[in-house]
Amino acid sequence: MDSLGLYIQVPFCASKCSFCNFSSRVARRDVYDRYCQALATELERLPEFYRASSIGENVLEIPVDSAYLGGGTPSLLESVRLEKLATAIQQRFQFGSKPEFTIEVTPGSADESFLQHIRRLGINRLSIGAQSFLDRELRSVGRLHSGEDTRALVRTARAQGFANISLDLIAGLPHQTEASWSESVQSLIALRPEHVSVYLFEIDEKSRLGSEVLKHGVHYHAGSLPDEDFVADAYDHARESLREAGYLQYEISNYALPGYESRHNRKYWQLQPYLGLGAGAHSCDGQSRWENVTAVEEYQSRLEHGQSPISERHRLTTKAQVEEFFFLGLRQTSGVNLAEAVDRWGGEHIARLTARIDSLEEHGWLERRDGRLCLADKALLLSNEIFQEFVSA
Amino acid sequence: MTEARYIRNFSIVAHIDHGKSTLADRLLELTGTVAKRDMEAQLLDSMDLERERGITIKAHSVRLLYKARDGNEYQLNLIDTPGHVDFSYEVSRSLSACEGALLVIDASQGVEAQTLANAQLAMNNNLEIVPVINKIDLPGADVEETRRQIEQTLAIDSRDAILISAKQGTGVDEVLEAIVAKIPAPTGSPEAPLQALIFDSWFDSYRGVVVLARVVQGTLVPGMKIRLWSNNQVYTVEQLGILTPTAVPVESLHAGEVGFVIANIKRVADTKIGDTITQDDRPAAEPLPGFEDIKPMVFAGLYPVETSEYESLRDALEKLRLNDSSLFYEPENSAALGFGFRCGFLGLLHMEIVQERLEREFKLNLITTAPGVRYRVTTKDGTVHEIDNPTRFPEPNEIAKIEEPVITALILTQDDYLGGILALAEEKRGIQKGFDYVGPKRVLLTYELPLNEVVLDFYDRLKSVSRGYASLDYHFSGHWESNLVKVDLLVAGEPVDALSFVCHRDHAQIRARSLCERMRKLIPRQLFEVAIQASVGSKIIARENVAAMRKNVLAKCYGGDITRKRKLLEKQKEGKRRMKRVGKVDIPQEAFLAVLRVNE
């Protein structure tokens, strides 16, 4: 085992966006203190919680090369709380020499002094949820910021010395048009972030907008949602524009200037160990996956009563590991190395899949590049269809 | 033994909701047959479904004892009749067990199509008709207009019509007196060779088949060897009884009486409605007139949504058939829907009832294919085929002619709605046989209409063009030759058998287009473009495309929640497994459901 990723979940937002299908909520500030206290307790007592859930404590000794404060809106915790949190993490874990330390920031929620402060804590990467640069689109999904707020945040961050900034865009939001999408993509490129994520709005019952769409309603601008073909075209357009601007696509929805691929993200696709702290956070040590209880109240109360917040843990069978190897690994443009899989799990587990892989290659969904198996370009947007071939149901 | 002159056998007939069951309840109450506190509203409708729908599905009978004003006690046998056009054969047989009928007409609605059809049936059976004008307490009641309609539409003397409010009980005693005074007593001799008319039967799990019969002549006694005329089966009478409405055993049933017969009969199908019971060693010279073997008129495929429920569906149909010999079914196999049954019904209501009972009483989840009729197809080699399943149609070039079943429909309406109704009848290929003003604003239309158009959506459309004011009744009246074609629906070149349908050549393209359009919206996008076509023989008459899928991707990572990704992939895969595969296209079951359910 080489290195460890840490994820700290901050499940609070100043307001809930209509497209959000994450677990986050709007809370009063006094809740933040209680939550941070619970996080501190969790950090402190990790070894005993792991023992209780039969999770190897040795994972705690692996040097950390990536930490990620995600949410929610972690910047809501403000500098003082974040400082305590960062200190506690740095005490608990052994950090490598040049860790990637990311915080998600919502435009308008972070000023100059905040950025200055967190920079001093060792946070060296900002992930900014721009989502769109058109105020009408931002307003329609309940974002509290404008396109200009995003530009201002990037300018301030640069002035404070942040040299690794990531910006997110979402395709498929209400009122989006070909022209407005192109404008958002161009505005983003003009800011020259080191890293870009292009997400596609997912229609599911977990978000208010998604569930409205599913029941054919009109609230949350559901009636102005662009269709599947638009979203697919938008994806292709962004891909093309980013490529022309010098960005390399390294994963289905992620792009970076050379050398700025997100270390943290890659851990997910490469079955490397990562630990999640906080309500609803997910962890994986390569052998098992586990998660904390999602409800903030229950998470806090368990820790206040000395109980473990781990709600579910399951061991990954070899078969499950092989399946993950494919349906996660193939998300990366570099694909997967079949020889590596054979080394790790033995030939028979891979042989079982050979016929399926051959058939997918034959139909042009998979292809070989530099000896590795990769998704063909036309399969990127249809990847779930391909991945289904690798899971048993 | 009650002398025949103190017996009256009668039915109550009416248009739906004109108050037939309420009047029956009052009669039971007033004669003390059922104490008021035991009255459950509308006692004779015993099946839950009957009570809910307000329609009598099975016939019943009940004996009332009535002390008339002349001082004599009379035995009144009320023979209740099914209240829907699907069951008109049963209605006619029940009526032939009576000497008279109370014709109940709602004073606020007047004469409706079913009033007319029932009155005609009663007249054909030579019944004495006693008009009863009901609901006179309603603010909208118009007694004089109702009288006028009775005279003009039904040609029945309305001067003696009895004015009642069955709900409030007003005038009901006059009804009882009129039954005694106007309806003739039965005439058959108790000594003559036995002739008894079967007008209903049901299966009782302890006693076997229970037959309701009217003894026309002769006498039934326990131990007698009886023979059923239609199939020559011989049985020994085990028990006789009457319904009051609870079952009471009796020692004999004489000419003129009505009661039940238990004779160790195993199958309801052996006791055909309208059949004659005679004595095996002293048979009557001839059977009672009017017997017909009833045939199903409307056909549809019934399929379990879950393939694993096929066996349960078969058991359930078997159980229903125990009590419903007019239900027909045979196994059928559809490439699209799997294993199921081709079922035949007396009509649309009968179909709905069976469907509902299967779903409600047997907890089955069903897909029903579009209802159709039985065509008579003559191929070029001169063979005549009776075909009730479109998939069995011969190729177009082998067909010499196709004949389709035709009904005669009676439509009574306010003339305000004539325009819409005439246009509808025309669209449905109807031929006008009669157009009669039966009042200043009331028109009686008589049409011959192909049954396949009627089962499609005629009744719903009629209701909507007349805002519910037109009433309809119909009876089967033969076949006519017609220019019909079978339309197949193809998905990616493969025919979807469950969606084939038969229609007139002139309608084929419009219906095919509409079906293709609906299917396009219901078939999920696949990895390749899917053509949806409709064809007549090898000729494509409509086409739609489902564009290839563009996007099925999970972009976001949710803080390393890989389990969520896996679950979604598994769910999608499982969803595909549950779809029906036609060729290489996955079609969700809901698509079939939606296409089959939606009315154009």
Q: Which long-range contacts (CB under 8 A, 24 or more apart) does B136-145 make?
A: B136/B107, B136/B163, B136/B164, B136/B165, B136/B170, B136/B171, B137/B165, B137/B167, B137/B168, B137/B170, B138/B107, B138/B108, B140/B108, B141/B107, B141/B108, B142/B107, B142/B108, B142/B110, B143/B107, B145/B110, B145/B439
Task: Give the residue extent of every domain in chain A.
Answer: 4-268, 317-393
Whose CA is closest to A364, among A386, A384, A331, A337? A386
Q: Please indicate whether, in this complex, the C-beta atoms of A268 and B562 are within 8 angstroms of each other.
A: yes
- Whole-number Å distance between alpha carbons of B146 and B514: 44
Judged on CB neighbours under 10 Å (0-12, 13-18, 19+), A160 is middle
Q: What is the pLDDT of residues B216-237, one digit of tens each?
A: 999 999 999 999 999 999 999 9
Q: Please indicate whether, in this complex, the C-beta atoms of A384 and B552 are within 8 angstroms of each other.
A: yes
**Partner residue opposite B550 with nearest CB, options A198, A232, A274:** A232
Strand partners, A8: A69, A277
Residue numbers in B near A268 (CB within 8 A): 557, 560, 562
The pLDDT score that the predictor gives to residue B35 is: 63
Residue numbers in A near B551 (CB within 8 A): 200, 228, 231-232, 235, 381-382
The pLDDT score that the predictor gives to residue B59 is: 52
Residue numbers in B near A253 (CB within 8 A): 555-556
Q: What is the pLDDT of residues B265-291, one digit of tens each?
A: 988 889 998 999 999 999 999 999 988
User: What secondary structure letter does DSSP report for B87?
Assistant: G
B162 vs B153 pLDDT, higher one: B162
The pLDDT score that the predictor gives to residue B337 is: 84
The pTM for the full model equals 0.72
Q: What is the pLDDT of residues A2-11, one digit of tens each?
A: 899 999 999 9
CA distance B575 to chain A (A): 10
User: What residues of chain A have any CB closer than 8 angstroms to a CB in chain B?
Assistant: 7, 9, 22, 68, 70, 198-200, 202, 228-229, 231-232, 235, 252-253, 265, 267-268, 274, 276, 280-284, 289, 291, 323-324, 327-328, 380-385, 387-388, 391, 393
Strand partners, B339: B333
- The DSSP secondary structure of A289-319, one letter per residue, reads EEEE-S-HHHHHHHHHTT---EEEEEEPPHH
In this prediction, residues A209-235 reach a mean pLDDT of 93
In this prediction, residues B576-596 reach a mean pLDDT of 80
- Whole-number Å distance between alpha carbons of B340 and B301: 7
Q: How many CB atoms lie within 10 A of CB A347?
A: 11
CA distance B522 to chain A (A): 15
Residue numbers in A near B559 (CB within 8 A): 7, 9, 68, 70, 276, 280-282
**Is the pLDDT at B527 greater than 80, yes or no?**
yes
Residue numbers in B near A267 (CB within 8 A): 560
Contact B203, B209 (CB under 8 A): yes
- Whole-number Å distance between alpha carbons of B95 and B82: 10
Strands (E), A20-172: 25-26, 64-71, 95-105, 125-131, 165-171
- Whole-number Å distance between alpha carbons of B477 and B456: 18
Judged on CB neighbours under 10 Å (0-12, 13-18, 19+), A5 is buried
Tokens representing residue B508 in the block: 């084929």
State percent of chain B over pLDDT 90.
Answer: 62
B568 near A CB under 8 A = yes
Q: Please indicate whether, in this complex, the C-beta atoms of A267 and B572 are within 8 angstroms of each other.
A: no
Q: Please indicate whether, in this complex, the C-beta atoms of B527 and A382 are within 8 angstroms of each other.
A: yes
CA distance B591 to chain A (A): 17
Q: Please indicate whether, in this complex, the C-beta atoms of B550 and A229 are within 8 angstroms of each other.
A: yes
B557 near A CB under 8 A = yes
CA distance B595 to chain A (A): 19
Q: Please indicate whether, in this complex, the C-beta atoms of B560 and A252 are within 8 angstroms of each other.
A: no
The pLDDT score that the predictor gives to residue B597 is: 62
Q: What is the pLDDT of residues A247-267, one digit of tens each?
A: 999 999 999 999 999 999 999
Chain mean pLDDT for chain B: 89
Contact A167, A196 (CB under 8 A): yes
- Whole-number Å distance between alpha carbons of A144 and A161: 26
Q: Give the residue on A whose Cα is nearest the Cα of B578.
A: A393
CA distance B509 to chain A (A): 30
Quick one: pLDDT band at residue B57, thresholds 50, 70, 90?
Answer: very low
User: What secondary structure letter does DSSP report for B458?
Assistant: I
Q: Which CATH entry fits the domain spanning A317-393: 1.10.10.920, 3.40.47.10, 3.30.450.20, 3.40.50.1100?
A: 1.10.10.920
Q: Please indicate whether, in this complex, the C-beta atoms of B559 and A393 are within 8 angstroms of each other.
A: no
In this prediction, residues A74-92 reach a mean pLDDT of 94
**The one-letter amino acid at A222:** A
Q: Please indicate whether, in this complex, the C-beta atoms of A22 and B558 are within 8 angstroms of each other.
A: yes
The pLDDT score that the predictor gives to residue B89 is: 85
Q: Please indicate whether, in this complex, the C-beta atoms of B552 and A268 are within 8 angstroms of each other.
A: no
Q: Please indicate whether, in this complex, the C-beta atoms of A391 and B573 are within 8 angstroms of each other.
A: yes
The pLDDT score that the predictor gives to residue B600 is: 43
Strands (E), B126-255: 128-134, 162-163, 195-204, 208-217, 219-220, 225-228, 234-236, 239-243, 247-250, 253-254
**Is the pLDDT at B262 greater than 50, yes or no?**
yes
Tokens representing residue B94 in the block: 């029940």
- Whole-number Å distance between alpha carbons of B429 and B422: 11
Residue numbers in A near B567 (CB within 8 A): none
Q: What is the pLDDT of residues B443-458, one digit of tens each?
A: 999 999 999 999 878 8
Q: Which CATH entry fits the domain spanning A4-268: 3.40.50.1580, 3.20.20.70, 3.20.20.120, 2.40.50.320?
A: 3.20.20.70
Q: Give the residue on B whose Cα is nearest the Cα of A8.
A: B559
The pLDDT score that the predictor gives to residue B21 is: 86
Our separate counts of H helices and E strands in chain A read 14, 16
Tokens representing residue B123 in the block: 């007249």
Residue numbers in B near A68 (CB within 8 A): 559
- Whole-number Å distance between alpha carbons of B275 and B268: 12
Q: Please indicate whether, in this complex, the C-beta atoms of A274 and B560 are within 8 angstroms of each other.
A: yes
Tokens representing residue A327 in the block: 């349906």
Q: Please indicate whether, in this complex, the C-beta atoms of B570 and A391 are within 8 angstroms of each other.
A: yes
**Partner residue opposite A384 with nearest CB, options B554, B562, B563:** B554
State percent of chain A over pLDDT 90.
Answer: 88
- Whole-number Å distance between alpha carbons of B173 and B171: 6
User: What secondary structure letter does DSSP report for A337?
Assistant: -
Place of tokens 């587990």: A349
Q: Please indicate whether, in this complex, the C-beta atoms of A282 and B570 are within 8 angstroms of each other.
A: no
Chain mean pLDDT for chain A: 94
Assign residue B206 a region (left: φ > 0; alpha: ψ between -120 and 50; beta: otherwise). alpha
**Partner residue opposite A231 with nearest CB, options B551, B569, B570:** B551
